[in-house]
Amino acid sequence: MTPPAVTGTAAATQPIRLLDAEGRLVESEANAPWHELAAQLSTEDRLAMHGEMLRTRRFDIEAGHLQRQGKLGLWVPSIGQEGAQVGAVWAAREQDTLFPSYREHLIALHRGATMDQIIDIFRGARHAGWNPLETRGMRIYSLVIATHALHSTGYAMGIRLDGKSGTGDASTDEAVMAFYGDGAASQGDASEGLVFAASYEAPIVFFVQNNKWAISVPSTRQSRFPLHERARGFGLDAALVDGNDPLASFAVTRRMLDAARQGAPGYIEADTYRMGAHTTSDDPTRYRTSEEEESWRRRDPIARLAAHLREQGVAEAVLAEQDVEATELASDLRRRTLEAATAISDDIFDHVYSDPHPLVTEQKRQLAEFEASFGGEA
């Protein structure tokens, strides 16, 4: 069954784009205010953004290798989505809280989670790689799709109740960003998040990376209508942005977040592409064409920002240096992963409850006794 073509405003909507695929600025009357926002990023900032994208890409590739060599149980690549993520996280202010799904590696790294902590999740050492109270507002990954759309909304409702938003001062007012994808948008929790966010005027922006594929199911199966248009129906301000354009992602997110912190929740659909597999357990050759993949490879966000930086006069040697640095960082990860400690059996029991629970206490004791019965040879 082939779905009919989407009609109405949907087909007419063009993503906000400030850099074209060749890295040239897209100037127009409509783009002028967005360029003005993007101008908050200096050339040094843009170079740093490029460096973060490169590091994440190298990290991603190295982690994929580690999985293939049996060192990780699973890997979730973010290749192709670095542009959307780098713009979004640079637009977030220091006081903001970010709720990721599980593919937001660049965002986690930017806020202070380490590569090793992300790796810990996928080598099976712990569920949450990091303590969110130590990573500048970066919450932990959420694997049941779209559940965190509600946690983030509730957190934003709490900000509002605390009086920490809506004072008119963007430099201190807090806001929240929730990240999920086109597949997640079909979940009831995603819609309920929009309902609650709108009803309580919560300071939140939903940043939706439409990467075209929910494992093997195309985004056209998730929605016959553009996702950002759907959000408008819930009463949120919404925008469609070229997710492979880091500058546009930054400008749109900055504006939406600053509106959210004054009580107008927003929704950003970032038009991007998952260049790799869903996870290392996936095989995209079964459901999509190499022509499609190739067409998106030509829109690689890293190449696009690099081209822009060259246009801005950044020397080739500087870009090459970033590349070397990223490669070295990633290869050191291999050594660290092989040396990393394994989990211990106490981890099963120690944080099931905050206060002691007799059943858990008893089972921990029983396991210790059982292990001890082997005389240290278990």
Q: Using an 8 Å Cβ cutoff, are 240 and 210 in contact? A: no
SS3 content of the chain, % helix, strand, coil (to 5): 50, 10, 40
How many residues contact another protein, by CB under 8 A? 44
Sign of CA dihedral 367, 370, 374, 375: positive
Tell me the per-residue interface mask from 338 to 357 with another protein, x by CB under 8 A, - otherwise: ---------x--xxxxxx-x
- Cα dihedral value 109, 112, 115, 119, nearest 10: -100
Count Cα atoms within 13 angstroms, Cβ side, for 359.
Answer: 2
Among 6, 26, 128, 318, binds another protein (CB under 8 A): 128
State the nearest-atom distance from the C-beta of 223 to another protein, in Å: 20
- If binding is defined by CB under 8 A, does position 235 make contact with another protein? no
Q: Using an 8 Å Cβ cutoff, are 253 and 50 in contact? A: no
| Nearer of residues 126 and 224 to another protein, judged by Cβ | 126
State the nearest-atom distance from the C-beta of 163 to another protein, in Å: 10
- If binding is defined by CB under 8 A, does position 233 make contact with another protein? no
CA distance 306 to 318: 11
Tell me the per-residue interface mask from 167 to 206 with another protein, x by CB under 8 A, - otherwise: ---------------------xx--xx-xx--xxx-----
| Nearer of residues 38 and 260 to another protein, judged by Cβ | 260
Q: Which stretch binds another protein (CB under 8 A): 11-19, 124-132, 252-260, 365-373?
A: 124-132
Among 131, 172, 216, 331, binds another protein (CB under 8 A): 131
| Nearer of residues 225 and 353 to another protein, judged by Cβ | 353
Query: Which tokens belong to 352?
Result: 């099931």
Q: Which stretch binds another protein (CB under 8 A): 8-16, 83-91, 141-149, 309-317?
A: 141-149
Candidates 207, 276, 238, 246; CA nearest to 23 is: 246
- Give the strand order in the sheet containing 237-242: 97-99, 176-181, 204-210, 266-271, 237-242
Q: Could you list the residues that contact another protein (CB under 8 A)?
A: 126-128, 131-133, 139-140, 144, 147, 149-162, 188-189, 192-193, 195-196, 199-201, 347, 350-355, 357-360
